[in-house]
A and B are shown apart, each in its own frame.
Chain A
Amino acid sequence: MTDVIGGAGCSARRIGAHGHWGGARWPDSIVTVTELVIETTGLRCRYGSFEAVRGVDLAVRRGELFALLGTNGAGKTTTMETLEGHRAASAGTVRVLGMDPVVDKARLRPRVGIMLQESGFAGELTVAETVELWRSVTTGGAGDRRGRFDVLDALDLAHRSGVMVKQLSGGEKRRLDLALAVLTRPELLFLDEPTTGLDPESRRRTWDLVRALRGEGTTVLLTTHYLEEAEELADRLAIMHRGVVAVEGTLGDVLATEPSRISFLVPDGLSVADLPGLPSVLSREVVDGRVELSTADLQQDLGVLVGWANARGVRLPRLRASQASLEDVFHNVRGMVERAGVAA
């Protein structure tokens, strides 16, 4: 395991108290550089005087699905576009499949699939013609190429293959975007908000396809607004805010950065002072007779508390214990970044 950070007993990296990156880089010494499909260190991207990305370290391993979460303007798309080679970094290093995405674009592109957040087609081509065009201007990297109706079938577009692109719905266009991005079975797939604007059924279908590709060994870097999408698909994830990565790790790691909560009413006949001390409590509040604890180790503290109550035959009215959700972490990221002084 990695270093324990902030006493929270987690292996996620997060911003330390002094605005530095906490934690070790990678826990396993056997993870070598060649197994990193994407690696950035100190990545910065500037548009004129505005710096959209301000020092991002990312490491995506082969075969993993890595999700980049964040609010609008957090720098996700700029990071993606830099990794794809659409723009050069203003500082820092970027390696994708061991190459520089801008300089080695011609060698890199056949091995990656890119689904931009916003892109289009010639409206007066049919779906089938669009797929045919894309097939004829790609060479493909990894393996045998999908048949036209393979990829359209997988995304429920086969019945629309004779329809002009300009007549497709927003969700259908988005699925066509994905169909083209995966047409050549790329080694590495960039998906920038792949399910924005999709209905639940289409979203499910997209998830199934992404999962299937991952099963084949495709490495995926995904950005999304939907927390459940990251929970559903990601091996690891990072939450960005204002151009920096605030939290990063597996879902469990990331959830562990946010304290769990225990709450109950002070039992009749007892006062707050009678309650036991709990080993991992981070903060305690009492409001209208209701005790609210946040804890770095829910199981241990809950065990001590319940053990104490049981031993005395005391009931703890309206006892509740909950682990943090990704949503809690997401909402606290802003404060976290600002406390760390990085947002100045």
Chain B
Amino acid sequence: MNLAHAMALGRTEFRLLRRNKLVASIAVAMPLVVGLALVTNGGSFGEQGWGMAAAVQVLQILLMTVYLTVTTALTARRQDLFLKRLRSGELSDVTILVGLVGPAVLLAVVQVVLLLGATVAVDATPPRNPLLVAAAVVLGAVMFAAAGMATTVFTPNPETAQITTMPVFLGAMLAVFVSMITRTETVRWVLLAIPGGGITELIRTGWVGARWDGTRVGFAEQLASALPALGASVLWSAVAVLAAWRWFRWEPRR
């Protein structure tokens, strides 16, 4: 990969994201509005409320800023035959993808840092297990960026991206909200099977320093309890990367 080339491409991609009002609002405006509304409300969800607020914030950023944006932008670049053009030059495929997907991931990371930073400022308690929170953000970014690439495979044009992204989007949001209201073992395993369910649990428990069921435990036990969620997230990330690798198309179907 050529970093200078990827960065040049990334700068252009930022410019394009800014110029497209729909994409700009999905990638930046919406997550910030939703996230800011939650920043001061963590305490209203009970003892573990701040963990849940953090999970909702991170998930909605990953879904909108990464998943929806990557799907929409790559579909648009493919439809414009811009991907085909880029491949006719010196850029390797990896450089092109890093250049086009990188800006969305970077925007997401910046927003996560801003919103979680604001949450910490309001709650005055930093995450108890930042390792789990960071792992969740990294795995989530990989998973949803790759899922976005894979979703372009059955997205004929950027307008339909709103529809084709719905299953993953709603599934992940469902996992977040169900995890807020119930905490039985069966539900936990069902949620872990949904893409995004593992990420949710990692942030929720990592933030408050608890076991999966909300019981406060020591650091080592937190990690042990997080293994299924980590495993599920790694697995879903791998599935998304493999699907993107196997099926991503550089040119529109004729």
Q: Which residues of A contact B (CB under 8 A)?
A: 84, 86, 105-106, 109-110, 114, 116, 118-125, 129, 133-134, 136-139, 180
Chain B interface residue count, Cβ-Cβ cutoff 8 angstroms: 23
Distance in Å from the Cβ of A343 to the closest Cβ of chain B? 25
- The answer to whether residues A119 and B85 also contact, given A137-B90, A137-B91 and a CB cut-off of 8 A, is yes
B8 touches A136 (CB 8 A): yes
- The 4 tightest CB contacts between A and B, nearest first, are A120-B81, A136-B8, A119-B85, A114-B88
Question: Given contacts A120-B85, A122-B16, could you give 9 more A-B pairs where the C-beta distance is less than 8 Å?
Answer: A86-B87, A116-B84, A121-B82, A124-B19, A129-B15, A137-B5, A137-B8, A137-B86, A139-B90
CB contact under 8 A between A119 and B81, given known A129-B15, A133-B8: yes
For A139, the chain B residues whose CB sits under 8 A away are: 90
Of B15, B76, B84, B90, which is within 8 A of A119 by CB? B84
Neighbouring B residues of A119 by C-beta, 8 Å: 81, 84-85, 88
A97 to chain B, nearest CB (A): 14
Q: How far is the CA of A138 from the CA of B20 in the complex (A)?
A: 26
| Minimal Cβ-Cβ distance residue in A for B17 | A124
Asked whether A137 lies within 8 Å of B85 as measured between CB atoms, the reply is: no
Residues in A with CB closer than 8 Å to B15 are 125, 129
Are A137 and B87 interface neighbours, CB within 8 A? no
Write the nearest CB–CB distance from B93 to chain A, whole angstroms: 10
CB contacts (< 8 Å) of B90 on chain A: these are 106, 109-110, 137-139
Query: Using a CB–CB distance below 8 Å, which chain B residues touch chain A?
Result: 4-5, 8-9, 12, 15-16, 19-20, 76-77, 80-82, 84-92
Q: Is there an interface contact between B16 and A124, defined as CB atoms closer than 8 Å?
A: yes
Most buried by A among B19, B76, B85: B85
Contact A120 B16 (CB under 8 A): no
On whether A129 and B12 interact (CB within 8 A), knowing A120-B82, A121-B82, A122-B82, the answer reads yes
Task: Give the Cβ gap from B215 to chain A, nearest Cβ, in Å.
Answer: 51
CA distance A114 to B88 in the complex (A): 6
Instruction: Note all chain A residues with C-beta closer than 8 A to B20.
Output: 124
A-B contact count (CB 8 A): 61
Cα A84 to Cα B86 in complex, Å, equals: 13
Q: Is the CB of B89 within 8 A of A137?
A: yes
Q: Give the chain A neighbours of B80 by CB distance below 8 A.
A: 120-123
Alpha-carbon separation in the docked complex, A138 to B86 (Å)? 10
- CB <8 Å contact, B16 and A84: no
Complex Cα gap A122–B75 (Å) = 11
The listed residue (B5, B82, B85, B92) touching A136 by CB distance below 8 A is B5
User: Chain A nearest CB: distance from B137 CB in Å?
Assistant: 29
CA distance A105 to B93 in the complex (A): 11
Closest chain B residue, CB of each to CB of A105: B92
Min CB–CB distance A222 → chain B (angstroms): 16
Closest chain A residue to B88 by CB distance?
A114
Select which of A84, A133, A136 is within 8 A of B88 by beta carbon: A84
Nearest residue, chain B, Cβ from A140: B90
CB contacts (< 8 Å) of A124 on chain B: these are 16, 19-20
- Indicate if the CB atoms of A120 and B84 lie closer than 8 Å: yes
Residues of B within 8 A of A105 (CB): 92
Give every chain B residue within 8 A of A110 (Cβ-Cβ).
90
Whether A116 and B9, one on each chain, are in contact in the complex, defined by CB atoms closer than 8 angstroms, is no
Q: Whose C-beta in chain A lies nearest to the C-beta of B99? A: A137
Contact across chains for A116 and B85 when beta carbons are under 8 A apart: yes
In Å, the complex CA distance between A106 and B91 comes to 8
A121 and B81 CA atoms in complex are apart in Å by 7
- In Å, the complex CA distance between A84 and B88 comes to 8
Contact A114 B84 (CB under 8 A): no
Q: Can you list 17 A-B contacts (CB < 8 A)?
A: A86-B88, A106-B92, A109-B90, A110-B90, A114-B89, A118-B84, A119-B81, A119-B85, A119-B88, A120-B84, A121-B82, A122-B76, A129-B12, A129-B15, A133-B8, A136-B8, A137-B91
Q: Which residue of B lies closest to A106 (CB)?
A: B92
Smallest distance from the beta carbon of A168 to chain B beta carbons, Å? 12
C-alpha gap A113/B178 in the complex (Å) = 55
Q: Is the CB of B84 within 8 A of A122?
A: no
| Cross-chain contact A109 with B89 (CB below 8 angstroms) | yes
Q: How far is the CB of B160 from chain A (nearest CB, A)?
A: 18
- Which B-chain residue is minimally distant from A136 (CB atoms)? B8
Q: A116 to chain B: closest CB distance in Å?
A: 5
